[in-house]
Structure 1
């Protein structure tokens, strides 16, 4: 009998949503301000490279804001534990036999270095908001801490696949 797949998809919390909209609004506001200011306010008109740098900077800023709004984290336990964050191309796959422990923890931006994908002492934290999560210790690799809706079911799914979970 095969073990059922455990999969969850999480959307960004209120904080990341507000940050995404604020970044987009700031970029649009700066573009409007630059376009609204008369061209004669400086001694020299802007060069083509100045305009190019402004356009690229605003485009990257808007892309980061939109990326924050569209961000999704998927946690899946099948043959491996996979933690994936889109659209940022983060993906970590861990074989259950390499997991030495998996414990339910409460994760927040404050105890994990902030929201997003963060390096923390000895590991990585992946958070879109605070709440219940799982801390996974991996033999020979950095640990990973991530937020999930049903951490008990995730730990049980890892145990069923042979992870050395207490």
Structure 2
């Protein structure tokens, strides 16, 4: 018997968006000040390597900030449970028969180690904003806790595919 696929996407919350734009704005502002201000105490202009380090640091910082703004997580239950975070390369695939427990939990930054992809005692938490989520215990592996909009539907889809959801 074929079970319908459950899929949903969770986007960055307000906090992650504000932090991302703050990082981008601060990085650009600091770079502009460093390049525009005279070297002053050094009595010499910045060298090419100084400018190169500044440009690389600015580029990486802006990329991290924009990545935080654009971050989204897709939860899909089909033949496997797949949790994927983009634009980062985090992806976890778990076969339903490996799941020993799945339960609905309320997630906050405080009980999940903060926002983002976090290592927590005994597992991993993926949180883009606070709210309902699912905690999955996996046979022989670290547990996974992730935020989703329809946790009851995720648990039910796992149960329908043979996961133990006691």
TM-score by length of 1: 0.97
1 CA distance for matches of 2:35 and 2:45? 13
- Superposition pairs for residues 1-166 of structure 1, below 5 Å? 1-40=1-40, 42-166=42-166
Cα shift at 1:87: 0.6
Cα shift at 1:110: 0.5
SS at 1:35's partner residue? helix
Q: How many pairs were matched up?
A: 166
SS at 1:133's partner residue? strand
My pick for the range that moved more, 4-13 or 28-37, is 28-37
Cα shift at 1:28: 1.0
Cα shift at 1:36: 2.1
Q: Kindly provide the CA deviation profile for residues 75-101 of structure 1, in whole angstroms up to 9, marking residues without a partner as x.
A: 000000000000101000000000000
TM-score by length of 2: 0.97
Moved over 6 A (4+): none
Q: Kindly provide the CA deviation profile for residues 19-61 of structure 1, in whole angstroms up to 9, marking residues without a partner as x.
A: 0000000011012111221245522322211111111000000
Q: Gaps spanning 5+ residues in structure 2: where?
A: none
Q: Gaps spanning 5+ residues in structure 1: where?
A: none
Q: Kindly provide the CA deviation profile for residues 115-135 of structure 1, in whole angstroms up to 9, marking residues without a partner as x.
A: 000000000000000100000
2 CA distance for matches of 1:40 and 1:116? 40
